[in-house]
Structure 1
Amino acid sequence: MAKVLAVLSNGYINEEHNYVTGWWAEELFAPALELEKEGHTVGLASIEGGKPTVDPISISKDYDPDGIYKKQYESGMADKTTPIVDVKASDYDAIMIVGGHGAMFDLAHNEDLHAVINVVYELGGIVSAVCHGPAPLVYTKTRDGRHLLEGLKVTGYPNNKEPKEVVELLPFSLEDELKKIGNYHEESNHDAYVVWGSKQILTGRDPQSSQLFGRELAQKLTQRELQSEEKFMD
């Protein structure tokens, strides 16, 4: 059974433009369910700890018509997160950066998060992110000064899907930044799209890719555990 650390944005508010964002509900709950189906456990962290701000749009009827994710959110499943500075990265087999525009504000440039990502990666764990979740991966560098995603095939939320009313409020374009260091792919002909940049790097394009993203991560972790057991038996 693998341990996965899901990292959530604490949220961002722009009062002047009446703009509130945070983590996207489907991008936590859908992958978490896939991981739990495989017997893996999911721990929660955020920069500040406590109850992070969910993007209210992600639990609205427009994006959650059946109220599945709203119900999970209101159950308190994501009410408690560990401050990232208190996370013991070596305890985890994988890290999963949850999307939502909030990730671009408080997760992207946080050095404590970058350090946790690096430890998981250096110990052979899987680094994964969905939708806007790759934002902090863009700015994470390895010990030798190389970009973690340098030259790798990656995906993330594309420019052509960004709401026009939000674009000017965002600190940067995720697609543009990914293209600067990685081999960005959108694959717009697919309803859901995820890509392995390497055996340790997994990214998913958008909320609709959340379930597939979680399934890919869960199955890879299970496969790793089986291989580890076989080596032990030998």
Structure 2
Amino acid sequence: MSRTNTILIALTSHDRLGDTGRSTGYYLPEAAHPWKVFTEAGYHVDLVSIRGGQPPMDGADTSDPVQRAFLDDARIAAQLAATPRPSDVDAAGYDAILYVGGHGAMWDFPDDQALAALARDIYEAGGAVAAVCHGPAGLVNLTLSNGAYLIDGKNVAAFTNAEEAAVGLIDVVPFHLQTALEERGAKHTGADDFQAHVVVDGRLVTGQNPASATGVGEAVVKVLAA
């Protein structure tokens, strides 16, 4: 593929955690830490969200200098204020796409056909598809042009059922991510709860949880350099 030196980060637009009355959104450190890796490797980063506009944010920790740098970056701040929708984005502009987690992704990533088409087109053009924590929700229904699930037969990592139970949301999320990936034919592996775990299978890169975000970014850079 012809390199664009640009990576697309996909964010959820869903802001309610089921019927709990709690808010959710994209998990800031899972966007910020890969962004740091990508930019330090010389890549531009663009953002996209399911509904466009300003996506809801969760997990902010202002004591983390990487998160602060992400939010303070003029280019990122301008994009966060008015993200495009997947249907407004041309896949040809990107070497890779990263699905960022946050529980909101469980509600709006799986069935967004425009987002799935973006990832499919990037992948089939020789680019990388990556996802971290709940971001792999976007892989559950992602099919290639031949109708096969992208993750069928692939080694993957994602937020595990055990981790979902540990955070008390196993009965709140609309489905169990690990189980759904396995039902699509993925070979899911998990580390101990909340420990970093990154899996690379060809041009598919997945990470288990927030602790895996930097590793996912590093793995994407390595895949694109191959």
Provide TM-score, normalisation by structure 1: 0.85
The residue aligned with 1:140 is 142
After TM superposition, the structure 1 = structure 2 runs for residues 55-74 of structure 1, keeping only pairs within 5 Å, are: 55=58, 58-59=59-60, 64=61, 66-68=63-65, 71-72=68-69
Larger radius of gyration: 1
1:160 and 1:65 mapped to 2: Cα distance? 28
After TM superposition, the structure 1 = structure 2 runs for residues 173-188 of structure 1, keeping only pairs within 5 Å, are: 173-180=176-183, 181-188=185-192
For 2:131, the aligned partner's letter is: A
1:40 and 1:74 mapped to 2: Cα distance? 17
The residue aligned with 2:56 is 53
Task: Work out whether 1:205 is the aligned partner of 2:208.
Answer: yes
Q: 1:67 to 1:109 in 2, by over 3 A?
A: same
Q: 1:84 to 1:65 in 2, by over 3 A?
A: closer
Between the two proteins, what is the percent identity of the paired residues?
31
For 1:167, the aligned partner's letter is: I
Answer yes or no: is the 8 Å Cα contact 2:25–2:102 preserved in 1.
yes
How far apart are residue 11 of structure 1 and its match?
2.2
Answer yes or no: is the 8 Å Cα contact 2:27–2:102 preserved in 1.
yes
Answer yes or no: is the 8 Å Cα contact 1:11–1:54 preserved in 2.
no
How far apart are residue 120 of structure 1 and its match?
0.5
Q: Which runs of 5+ in 2 are unaligned?
A: none
After TM superposition, the structure 1 = structure 2 runs for residues 12-161 of structure 1, keeping only pairs within 5 Å, are: 12-13=15-16, 16-55=19-58, 58-59=59-60, 64=61, 66-68=63-65, 71-72=68-69, 75=72, 77=77, 78-161=80-163
Q: State the aligned residue count.
A: 216
Give SS of 2:169's match: helix
How far apart are residue 14 of structure 1 and its match?
5.1
For 2:192, the aligned partner's letter is: S
Provide TM-score, normalisation by structure 2: 0.88
Q: Which runs of 5+ in 1 are unaligned?
A: 225-234
The residue aligned with 1:168 is 171
CA RMSD between the two structures: 2.0
Give SS of 1:119's match: helix
Give SS of 2:37's match: helix
